[in-house]
Amino acid sequence: MCVTHLQDFLIKEVKVGVFFNHYSFLFIAVGVVAVAGLILLTNKPKTNDIFAFSTIAVGALIAVIILHPRQTPLMEDARMVQEMIGAGTPVLLEFQSPYCISCTTINPMVDALEQEINNEISIGKRLHVIHLNIQDQAAQELAPVYGFEFTPTFIFFDAQGNELWRTIGTFDAQLVRDSLP
């Protein structure tokens, strides 16, 4: 199975898991209304019972309408990161943590390299560096997609979005320079 097919499969798996996590309230509400309806139908319903059931059903519907998940900025960030990879500019993706000592010591080197590369005389950016904090939702959504396990992890993608290399725990600025077109 090639890497792009595996990434597509993992993205679909993550989306299915996110769907059930976000809509679990809906499934619980439908279940409660269904159970209440079955209990009501097994007995001879009175007007008060029908009114109570209707109140529960309307309350559950209102709660679902109010509480249903909406697109959040963090979900948008994860999608934006995926769109940047393969958009015509090489990308250095870094999974980091503010509590990781080696991440905080490597960060200035990564920032300096990005400025050095992008300040050279050229048209447009030559490299996008994306720092993902593993405590943020966007990084948590992307971690299974890109196989992240340890901080810091650097993944270099070429302009077409193909992963060229990854390093874990170390950063080699010369490797980044050599990977650029």
Could you give the 3-state DSSP secondary structure of residue 108?
A: helix
Please name the residues in contact with 32: beta carbons below 8 A apart, sequence gap of 6 or more: 56, 60
Map out the domains of the chain with their CATH numbers. 3-67 (no CATH), 73-179 (3.40.30.10)
Provide the b/e sequence for 7-37 (b: ≥16 CB within 10 Å).
Answer: beeeeeebeeeeeeeeeeebeebeeebeebe
Among residues 87, 74, 180, 179, which one has the least CA distance to residue 132?
74
Both structure tokens of 106: 């490597």
pLDDT tens digit at each of 181 positions of the chain:
444 444 444 444 444 444 445 566 667 777 888 888 888 778 787 888 888 888 888 887 787 776 655 544 446 788 888 889 988 889 999 999 888 888 888 988 998 998 888 887 665 568 889 999 888 888 888 888 888 888 899 999 999 999 999 999 999 999 999 998 8
